[in-house]
Amino acid sequence: MSNAPDNKPPQPPAGAPRPAAPAGQPSAGAPRPAVPGSAPARPPGAPAPSAGVPNPAGAPTPAGGVPRPAGAAPAGAAPAAAKPAGALTPAGGITKPAGAPAAAPVAAKPAAAPAPKPAAKPAAAPAAAKAVPRASGGSGEKGRRKFGQVLVDLGFVDEDQLWELLEEAKTTGKKLGETVMARGMINAEQLLQVLAEQNGLKLASLADAKPSPEALAMVPQTMAAVYKVMPLSVKDKVLTIVVSDPANASAADDLRNLLNLNEVVVQLSTQEAMNECLERAYSNTKEESIVDLIKELETSSALAGSGRQSSIDLDSAMEMADSAPVRRLINMIFLSSIRDRAADIHFEPFEEEYRIRIKADGVLQELQPPPKFLANAISSRIKVMANLDITERRMPQDGRIELNVGGNQVDMRVSVLPTMFGESIVIRILDRSAVKLELDKIGMDAKVLNPFKEIIKKPNGIILVTGPTGSGKTTTLYSALSYLNEVTDKIITTEDPVEYEIEGLVQCPINHEIGLTFASALRAILRQDPDRILVGEIRDLETAQIAVQASLTGHTVFSTLHTNDAPSTITRMRDMGLEPFLITATVEAVLAQRLVRRICTNCRTEFNPSADMLMELELTPETAKGMKFFYGKGCDKCGETGYKGRMGIHELLIMNDDIRDAISNGVSTDELRAVGKSKGMITLRDSGLNAINLGLSTIEEVVRETVVE
Enumerate binding residues for Zn ion (CB under 5 A): 600, 602-603, 635, 637-638
- Closer to Zn ion by CB, 365 or 415: give it: 365
**Helices and strands in the chain, H and E counts:** 32, 19
Min. distance of Cβ 445 from Zn ion in angstroms?
24
Closest CB 639 distance from Zn ion, rounded Å: 8
Strand order in the sheet with 461-466: 506-509, 491-495, 532-535, 556-561, 461-466, 587-599, 643-654
CA dihedral over 245, 246, 247, 250, signed as positive or negative: positive
When the beta carbons of 682 and 692 are compared against Zn ion, the nearer one is 692
Which residues share a beta bridge with 62? none
Nearer CB in complex with Zn ion: 72/635: 635
CA distance 159 to 643: 57
Nearest approach in angstroms of CB 632 to Zn ion is: 5
How far apart, in Å, are the Cα atoms of 8 and each of 11, 42, 91, 243?
Answer: 7, 24, 12, 15
CB atoms within 10 A of CB 438: 11
CA distances from 68 to 11, 12, 24, 245, 432 (A): 9, 7, 12, 16, 22
- Report the amino acid identity of residue 528: Q
- Residue closer to Zn ion by CB (options 202, 637) is 637
Q: What is the DSSP letter of 226?
A: H
What Rg, from alpha-carbon coordinates, does the chain have?
A: 29
Residue 340 or 537 having the CB closest to Zn ion: 340
Least CB distance from residue 149 to Zn ion, whole Å? 51
Q: How far is the CB of 645 from Zn ion (least distance, A)?
A: 11
Q: Which is nearer to Zn ion, 293 or 342 (CB)?
A: 342
Q: Answer yes or no: are the C-beta atoms of 451 and 654 closer than 8 Å.
A: yes
Our CB check for Zn ion shows the closer of 478 and 630 to be: 630
Element (H, E) at 700: helix 699-705
3 state SS of 268: strand
Report d(CA 41, CA 420) in Å as an integer. Answer: 70
Distance in Å, CB of 616 to Zn ion, minimum? 23
CB of 600 to Zn ion, least distance (A): 3
Q: Based on CB atoms, which residue is closest to Zn ion, 24 or 362? A: 362
Least distance in angstroms from the C-beta of 637 to Zn ion: 5
Length of the chain: 709
Specify the residue, 486 or 640, whose C-beta has the smaller distance to Zn ion. 640
Q: How far apart are CA 449 and CA 591, in angstroms?
A: 11
Nearer to Zn ion, 56 or 632 (CB): 632
Looking at the Cβ atoms of 604 and 673, the one nearer to Zn ion is 604
Q: Where are the beta strands (DSSP E) in 518-632?
A: 532-535, 556-561, 587-599, 604-606, 630-632
> Whole-number minimum distance, CB 695 to Zn ion, in Å?
13
What's the min distance (Å) between Cβ of 630 and Zn ion?
Answer: 12
Q: How far is the CB of 175 from Zn ion (least distance, A)?
A: 38
Least CB distance to Zn ion at residue 20 (A): 36
Q: Are 146 and 63 in contact (CB under 8 A)?
A: yes
Angle at 130 between CA 127 and CA 135, to 5 degrees: 115
Give the span between the Cα atoms of 685 and 261, in whole angstroms. 55
- Toward Zn ion, which CB reaches closer, 5 or 639? 639
Residue, CB closest to Zn ion: 600
Q: Where are the beta strands (DSSP E) in 184-313?
A: 202-203, 230-235, 238-243, 263-268
Coil, helix or strand at residue 426? strand
